[in-house]
Amino acid sequence: MCIFCQIINNEIPSCKVYEDDKTLAFLDINPVNPGHTLVIPKKHYENIEEISEEDLAAVIASVKKVGRLMKDKLGAAGYNVTLNNGAAAGQDVWHLHFHVIPRHDGDGHKTWARRKYSDGETEMIIAKLIS
């Protein structure tokens, strides 16, 4: 059983932020910023491709609630919502989870590096995506 399923089953303690019948939100044990929260479906799904539309909608609704809590209760100026989907994207727990990270002006955290498309690259990418 995965570590998040153990948390859902109260076999491992967690600091719960929010819970409803389909989702659970709890503090990340290695936060980017204080209040960094993980939002998960209670049903085990490995990644976003596996989750049902109904359960995904419930998870996103909980992400929205947690984000609002960060602004209202922690005074966050904003928040990042991230999903590491697959090993290449940095997923290291194989239970779908969204990170909701409170952000404050001047907190020093960057999102990610950006780059420009090379000549012809956008056309090649679009052709692959829509074919």
Catalytic residue (choose from 97, 99, 104, 109): 97
pLDDT (0 to 100) of residue 59: 98
pLDDT class of 105 with cuts at 50, 70, 90 = very high
Q: What is the pLDDT of residues 74-85, one digit of tens each?
A: 999 999 999 999
On the CB side of 22, CA atoms within 13 Å amount to: 14
Q: Does pLDDT of 112 surpass 90?
A: no
Respond yes or no: is residue 97 known to be catalytic. yes
What's residue 80's pLDDT?
97
pLDDT digits (tens, 9 = 90+) for 44-89: 999 999 999 999 999 999 999 999 999 999 999 999 999 999 999 9
Superfamily of domain 3-130: HIT-like (3.30.428.10)
